[in-house]
Structure 1
């Protein structure tokens, strides 16, 4: 019978697998060159739906905490993600996003004041290298703005995850409410940006609408509920390595659905990135979030 930790790990892993379909959906179903509109329509409806389902609003300090997490994890991350997606080939965008475990390790060191083992840094480098082997081709073009956006998005998300771990789960609220609060906050921040930079919403086709519905309901509402549930049950650095499943899923979707090739070199890279992800899950025990913020440790802990 599956133990609780394995079940939590597998359920949380579904989130980055869902997120791995974002590039294909964006390029095949959504209107071109609308990164801020796409970010807003992905976040706000999903956030409002989760708040409706949870029937809870923030209390006390969680008003500003939700705004901070929503700014980092949604407004900034989604905007930067779609800038990278629209400006870069999928492979280059995926490698930029794969720095997430390294960014999380750095944020853990700076924000949680926890020592990060050398093995974690090496696994992070292995993960980036494996993803690069899978998705980079000789034809991959580097757009500086797109690359900076991809790396910036990974850093922004890493800081948000570590802050969520530091603050703990809000009292009398679970992952549904927490995901809803930060998605709504981020979506609201994206509204003026979308209209100021991109103008009015263009006429949407049926295909566009289906793409936005999928991104909002499955990719985001369900995906972020699973992710915040996982933050409450898994250690933060091993959790971040699950993010490598996103570019690996994107490569697999491209191979199966878009007719892209998959060479022996790419297969080896897939194995390297997957091995880094699995090994990271074995190096730390899960550490659940407390209802209230934990005091700062007097000694350095290993993660």
Structure 2
């Protein structure tokens, strides 16, 4: 079956984000982790700033909320998240890194419950969180040690949690800037924070002045394709298919990461890694059981057929976190609300 344009764009996005983990692996052989992440966002920040200028978008923060949105997105969604991501992947393979980060949609609901008003966490979501955590343990324990795989998985779990926390906090804000302008600011602030962390980190010293061509290629690929191109593709798809279907890209990227890591870097795909990923996907399904039923049920002739009510999107009765809409007072699930475009995509 030939894919339509939307399908091709979805596959391209999954490849751009999934292959990013192999590019990170290549660059980490030469560059210190946090500095590597900073240089990645230097490139992406320049490209996004150029896009803001070309499209003549408003870029000047005018309200306190604008500045808070920039601080949260730049400090947590970019700076904090990618610092822990690059540090964590320095201990584990690209496939393991991608799989652990796919836990992000599972740890988001508990944080939303703690920080957002009128949230409920149902039994299947609790079970999904536990199953997802078991998947992380399955991945981390075999062959691990305190200075090896377990430490790497722990850092990556923190990266996923920091991103989820940033998404929840970001959704409480009502900034006035266009989404692309916020993303550009986030990359500028995030890159600056990463450079600062790298400067004060005792192990962050660039060993060589002339970087190998493979490292430079990996850096350009991450900045141009995986970050700038991936984020733009994300926003186009978000408008076309909505947050519910697009959330599945979080579970396509680990597959791409594993295959690219195996083909390009010779990384082994172990049975325990596959089992851990299967548990994480199962946990995701339990957390999003109602949402998946609402989307998939009508496709097979079952489930709810009603359109979204006015109260499901723009009147403030739903909160969108990391592309997931948590409905106030009624149910916990996903929607295709236009507000989902306000949340920074989880592109790695």
State the TM-score bracket (shorter-chain normalisation). Answer: 0.7 to 0.9
Distance of aligned partners of 1:93 and 1:184 in 2 relative to their CA distance in 1, 3 Å threshold: same
Instruction: Tell me what 2:346 maps to.
Output: none
Structure 1's unaligned 5+ residue stretches are 1-5
Following the alignment from structure 2 to structure 1, what is the Cα–Cα distance between the partners of residues 70 and 266? 41
**Matches of residues 117-266 of structure 1 in structure 2 within 5 Å?**
117-126=122-131, 138-141=142-145, 143=147, 145-167=151-173, 170-171=175-176, 173-174=178-179, 176-197=180-201, 198-199=204-205, 202-203=208-209, 204-227=211-234, 233-234=242-243, 242-262=249-269
Instruction: Tell me what 2:79 maps to.
Output: 75
How many residue pairs align between the two structures?
293
Distance of aligned partners of 1:99 and 1:295 in 2 relative to their CA distance in 1, 3 Å threshold: closer
Q: 2:48 aligns with which of 43, 47, 50?
A: 50
Instruction: Tell me what 2:305 maps to.
Output: none
Q: Secondary structure at the match of 2:187?
A: helix
Following the alignment from structure 2 to structure 1, what is the Cα–Cα distance between the partners of residues 141 and 151? 19
Following the alignment from structure 2 to structure 1, what is the Cα–Cα distance between the partners of residues 283 and 8? 16
Distance of aligned partners of 1:209 and 1:33 in 2 relative to their CA distance in 1, 3 Å threshold: closer
**Matches of residues 105-124 of structure 1 in structure 2 within 5 Å?**
105-113=109-117, 114-124=119-129
CA-based RMSD: 4.1
| 2:35 is aligned with 1:28 | no
Following the alignment from structure 1 to structure 2, what is the Cα–Cα distance between the partners of residues 10 and 282? 22
Structure 2's unaligned 5+ residue stretches are 296-307, 320-326, 334-348
Following the alignment from structure 2 to structure 1, what is the Cα–Cα distance between the partners of residues 151 and 276? 26
Q: Secondary structure at the match of 2:51?
A: helix
Following the alignment from structure 2 to structure 1, what is the Cα–Cα distance between the partners of residues 11 and 249? 6
| 2:307 is aligned with 1:302 | no
Q: Secondary structure at the match of 2:78?
A: helix
Please report how far the alpha carbon of residue 64 of structure 1 lies from its aligned counterpart in structure 2 after TM superposition: 2.8
In the TM superposition, what whole-angstrom CA distance separates every residue of 1:152-183 from its partner, at most 9, and x where no partner exists?
Answer: 11011112223333335x54613x32322211
In the TM superposition, what whole-angstrom CA distance separates every residue of 1:31-51 from its partner, at most 9, and x where no partner exists?
Answer: 436011111011122022112
Following the alignment from structure 1 to structure 2, what is the Cα–Cα distance between the partners of residues 69 and 201? 31
Q: TM-score by structure 2 length?
A: 0.67
In the TM superposition, what whole-angstrom CA distance separates every residue of 1:26-70 from its partner, at most 9, and x where no partner exists?
Answer: 223444360111110111220221121022314223133112211
Distance of aligned partners of 1:116 and 1:249 in 2 relative to their CA distance in 1, 3 Å threshold: farther
Distance of aligned partners of 1:120 and 1:63 in 2 relative to their CA distance in 1, 3 Å threshold: same
Please report how far the alpha carbon of residue 264 of structure 1 lies from its aligned counterpart in structure 2 after TM superposition: 6.8
Q: TM-score by structure 1 length?
A: 0.75
Following the alignment from structure 2 to structure 1, what is the Cα–Cα distance between the partners of residues 14 and 49? 22
Q: Which has the larger radius of gyration?
A: 2
Greater helix share, 1 or 2?
Answer: 1
Distance of aligned partners of 1:298 and 1:117 in 2 relative to their CA distance in 1, 3 Å threshold: closer
Note if contact 2:145-2:151 (Cα within 8 Å) is conserved in structure 1: no
Following the alignment from structure 1 to structure 2, what is the Cα–Cα distance between the partners of residues 229 and 182? 19
Note if contact 2:103-2:280 (Cα within 8 Å) is conserved in structure 1: no
Distance of aligned partners of 1:149 and 1:131 in 2 relative to their CA distance in 1, 3 Å threshold: closer
